[in-house]
Structure 1
Amino acid sequence: MKLKQLANANDAVSEAAKKVNPRYRLGYHIMAPANWINDPNGLIQFNGEYHVFYQHHPYSADWGPMHWGHVKSKDLVHWEHLPIAIAPEDNCGCFSGSAVDNNGELTLIYTGHHILDQEKDLFYENQNIAVSKDGIHFEKSHKNPVIAAPPADSSHHFRDPKVWKYNDKWYMVVGNSTKDDVGRVILYSSLNLREWEYIGVLAQGNENLGYMWECPDFFELDGKYILMCSPQGIESDGDLYQNLFQTGYFVGDYDYETNEFIYGSFTELDHGHDFYAVQTFLDAKGRRIAIGWMDMWESKMPTKEDGWCGALTLPRELRLGENNKILMNPVEELTLLRESEHHVCTNQSINGSYLVETKDNLIELKIDFDMAKTTAHTVGLKIRSINQEETLLFYQKENQKLTLDCSKCGKEKDGNRRTILESDQVLSLRVYIDRSSIEVFANNGEATMTSRIHPKEERLGIELFAENGDAHVIDFTYWSLKDIWK
């Protein structure tokens, strides 16, 4: 990797950052100083610090030749921008991948994306590595590509390697598709990260599960094995699969001796507008932590006008709940963001609406409704601006659906997302609002909804509401949060 390429890329970002319009800049999420980002890559805890890399185009707020941007943190909350880690060669991109600690050597495993004809979308992909002793400066291996081509029965889609170690052997899953466009994940093994043996297909879909499975991740969670992936090409089905592309998981049992994965059906992981390409890692506390891209392909992205585009979600701890359902909740360290606590009400019934005025744009909310004592057909909250703009989150008792409505806050078309949530006793909502994002965690992670919002008006406050009856509020507390980037 030519040092001049990296220097030019870092200089370009530094210059672009001086011109960024701050109106939608996030206060406590990972984003680049300027220009485009998408998938999180290389999530790892290395030498006691958390590292997150991300797909990055340093020369434009639009997608382009992919570099790896880089941040690190001691606490998963306060992030520090580091120099761009790897840059592509001519007519190439350093696509998504992962990171491992190889006896003190931080190793990035990534896809080389090589364009043959841009207009005809002709390309080929292979797998490569770059290494670092200090966790900041990386050198591409002279052994690259470490996997030169996909298996013979494969299409040219062959990307996003996720690598882990089991006993004394390295394993890699790669997103792939068959020659007749059926999405799948394939498996490799290695003793040294340089020479890889193809094992076979770990899991494969059908004509209903998309033509390509991007960003696979495979790990053990609470006694089961989880395959996460981001299928492209699933058709919408009622409230399911409403985004252009999906992110979800299979739960099953895996045998390293036979390399057989026996698994159930595909389940969506998040039901908002803007959640894709999730990746997980295991930290020193034994937690499985996930971070996703907080945007969606081909969606409205007004921040491009401001000189930047793309952000990552808050870090979320994963657990396996009842019926093999993955529960996602914010990591406990996020309480470090809290600057002031505002205890609004306890054990109070509301009829109609209850407004709490606040101009804060960085807020954490915790609201618990006693649904056994609630007679209202619909309960929820509005993040209100001073005039017409608002973001709605509401729950309907009759059909047990939780709805996030962003149609009056930047998503005029296709503004609603819904998911089933059984809440006969307590409806617990934990909501993080940043300047241009909302992340909802309902009933301790039984449902999550992640969306970008783009308000143009000043904030008025938070309004609780009940329709056709009373809502019983057990507790309503909110916190003003700090801006880590200031």
Structure 2
Amino acid sequence: MNIMTEWTREERYQRIEDVDTDYFKTLKQQVDQSKFRQQFHIQPETGLLNDPNGLIFYKGKYYVSHQWFPLGAVHGLKYWYNYTSDDLINFKAEGPILNPDTKYDSHGVYSGSAFEYNGHLYYMYTGNHRDNHWQRHASQMIARLKEDGSVEKFPKPVISQQPEGYTSHFRDPKVFKYGEKYYAIIGAQNNDQQGRLLLYNTEDIINWHYLGEINTELDDFGYMWECPDYFNVDNQDVILICPQGIEPKCDQFNNIYQSGYILGKFDIEKLTYEHENFVELDNGFDFYAPQTFLDEKGRRVLIGWMGLPEIEYPTDNEGWAHCLTIPRVLNVENGQLKQRPYPALEKLRHNKETALGYANKFTRKLHPYEGKQYELIIDILDNDATEVYFELRTSKTSSTLIAYNKRENKITLDRSDSGLLPTNVEGTTRSTILETPLKQLQIFVDTSSIEIFCNDGERVLTSRIFPTEDALGIKTSTESGQVYLQFTKYDLKDEHK
């Protein structure tokens, strides 16, 4: 049985139960044979994964869902696929948890969040319905997780449509508690084609009241703001948004869509947000639609989609696409949002290896440093080099390059020789200017991804890479001068796989 690669509208909106089981069996076999399958990231069993949804720690267990189209690597009829975990590192696949099975979400169970109310877990999400003229109708819906693991949806939407003055681009509710009330911040587009944030609240989670638009200083900043989030960490208010339609600006905003944060002061009564500049959360190629939640210790944790819309990835023709990022712990320090790898990732570490020495303009291959799945910590102890180069997943013909320019204090990720490349992507490099001279890189490499944490979470660069299977090496060199380095490498292995 052939796996579909060209899709009609009707095929994109087929329901799982209407598809021949032989198709799924063939698709699963094809996906399992992919040489790009990840080892310690959440990825779809088949089809396409996108936004993380419904993240919560509830009754001793973590719940992590994601947007899912099961039939292939295209955006079609969306479900929520759910995982549970005891530690945010080892996940159990639970299967679809929200299905497009009512007239209000007949064309997709879109993104949303989880919250606890009166001891029960609830999901608030956007239901997507198309009428006979294929016009979009978006509403906000709620479902309750039952004791047997199934969900019970409220019989009708709690917010039936967007308020006056806004288009049907009205989605992605993120619920948070403030005082004794529950609030939902929702991404929207006004009738002037500008991205906006709308706020609702409730006292009983059934009757939701429209409070108005949150007034920011970003008056003309893209045509739509997706996947908003609000939280307070280290006594600092933070809003996350994913604006669409931002023009590139030097090393900023070079991806098709952006994802970032604005630090500020939120007056929830006056609906005002006095804030600093918008800052990108990630400076790599593949990061979007993050969502945050509190872990069992009260830490603010972020998980993002390691991908972007409207881009074709090398695994698309294998019937699957995308993965989620590793979890990150968020803190605000010195007016900046720091992102650090979730501490429990250390449980994946095996086979520690260390090395200490100088690098210069003569390329040096690190022995026996090699692999497809590892954590690499590079400490820069002394640096007299003009530019330092680190090459990962190297072979005779390929490598993924990280360059640090000391004079400009700039980190650059170059995947021009990484292997197969996604299409519809502008350029093969991404760069960012650091606040302080580079002292450390903490790098997580999986079969087809790289996540680079600079200076203890000051900047992060996340990207998919699709190298050849023999691209295992690690090399270092400089443009001129020398640098004194300490390397610490761990193989990363999920014992449950």
TM-score (norm 1): 0.93
SS of 2:40's partner is coil
C-alpha change, 1:200 and 1:438, in structure 2 (3 Å) is same
Structure 2: distance between partners of 1:455 and 1:201? 46
Residue 113 of structure 2 is aligned to residue 98 of structure 1: yes
Residue 355 of structure 2 is aligned to residue 344 of structure 1: yes
Task: Give the match for residue 308 of structure 1.
Answer: 320
Match of 1:464 among 476, 481, 493: 476
Structure 2: distance between partners of 1:138 and 1:88? 12
CA contact (8 A) 1:318 1:328 kept: yes
CA contact (8 A) 2:65 2:82 kept: yes
CA contact (8 A) 1:127 1:161 kept: yes
Segment drifting more, 44-53 vs 410-419: 410-419
Residue 419 of structure 2 is aligned to residue 407 of structure 1: no
1:75-474 mapped onto 2 (5 Å cutoff): 75-89=87-101, 91-116=106-131, 122-134=135-147, 136-142=149-155, 144-204=156-216, 206=218, 208-322=220-334, 324-345=335-356, 348=358, 350-357=360-367, 358-370=369-381, 373-409=382-418, 410-411=420-421, 414-424=427-437, 426-473=438-485
CA contact (8 A) 2:80 2:98 kept: yes
Q: CA deviation at 1:240?
A: 0.5
Structure 1: distance between partners of 2:403 and 2:148? 44
> What are the superposed Cα offsets for residues 268-321 of structure 1, whole Å, 9 maximum, x if unpaired?
110000000000001221100000000112223111122211110000000112
In structure 2, give the amino acid aligned to 1:472. Answer: Y
In structure 2, give the amino acid aligned to 1:149. Answer: Q
Structure 2: distance between partners of 1:457 and 1:18? 20
Structure 2: distance between partners of 1:348 and 1:385? 20
> What are the superposed Cα offsets for residues 319-355 of structure 1, whole Å, 9 maximum, x if unpaired?
1121x2111110100001112111122x545442221
Structure 2: distance between partners of 1:461 and 1:380? 14
User: Deviating runs (4+, > 4 A) in structure 1?
Assistant: 4-15, 204-208
In structure 2, give the amino acid aligned to 1:333. Answer: A
Structure 2: distance between partners of 1:416 and 1:177? 31
In structure 2, give the amino acid aligned to 1:155. Answer: T
C-alpha change, 1:266 and 1:246, in structure 2 (3 Å) is same
> What are the superposed Cα offsets for residues 64-117 of structure 1, whole Å, 9 maximum, x if unpaired?
111001111111110110020011146511100000112232111000112236
In structure 2, give the amino acid aligned to 1:375. Answer: D
SS of 2:257's partner is coil
Q: CA deviation at 1:266?
A: 1.1
Segment drifting more, 232-241 vs 377-386: 377-386
Q: CA deviation at 1:484?
A: 5.1
CA contact (8 A) 2:187 2:225 kept: yes
In structure 1, give the amino acid aligned to 2:223. Answer: Y
C-alpha change, 1:241 and 1:9, in structure 2 (3 Å) is farther
Structure 2: distance between partners of 1:275 and 1:384? 21
Structure 2 unmatched runs, 5+: 1-13
CA contact (8 A) 2:35 2:469 kept: no
Segment drifting more, 240-249 vs 355-364: 355-364
Q: CA deviation at 1:22?
A: 2.7
> What are the superposed Cα offsets for residues 212-250 of structure 1, whole Å, 9 maximum, x if unpaired?
000000010111111101001101111100000000011
Task: Give the match for residue 49 of structure 1.
Answer: 61
C-alpha change, 1:416 and 1:107, in structure 2 (3 Å) is same
CA contact (8 A) 1:83 1:136 kept: no
In structure 2, give the amino acid aligned to 1:453. Answer: I
Specify which structure has the higher proportion of strand: 1
SS of 1:320's partner is strand
In structure 1, give the amino acid aligned to 2:352. Answer: E
SS of 1:340's partner is strand
Structure 1 unmatched runs, 5+: none
In structure 2, give the amino acid aligned to 1:401. Answer: K
Structure 1: distance between partners of 2:46 and 2:181? 39
CA contact (8 A) 2:53 2:112 kept: yes
Q: CA RMSD in A?
A: 2.2
Segment drifting more, 107-116 vs 183-192: 107-116
Structure 2: distance between partners of 1:58 and 1:82? 14
In structure 2, give the amino acid aligned to 1:387. Answer: K
CA contact (8 A) 2:349 2:493 kept: yes
Task: Give the match for residue 478 of structure 1.
Answer: 489
SS of 2:345's partner is helix
SS of 2:383's partner is coil
TM-score (norm 2): 0.91
Structure 1: distance between partners of 2:148 and 2:442? 35
CA contact (8 A) 2:364 2:475 kept: yes
Structure 2: distance between partners of 1:62 and 1:480? 33
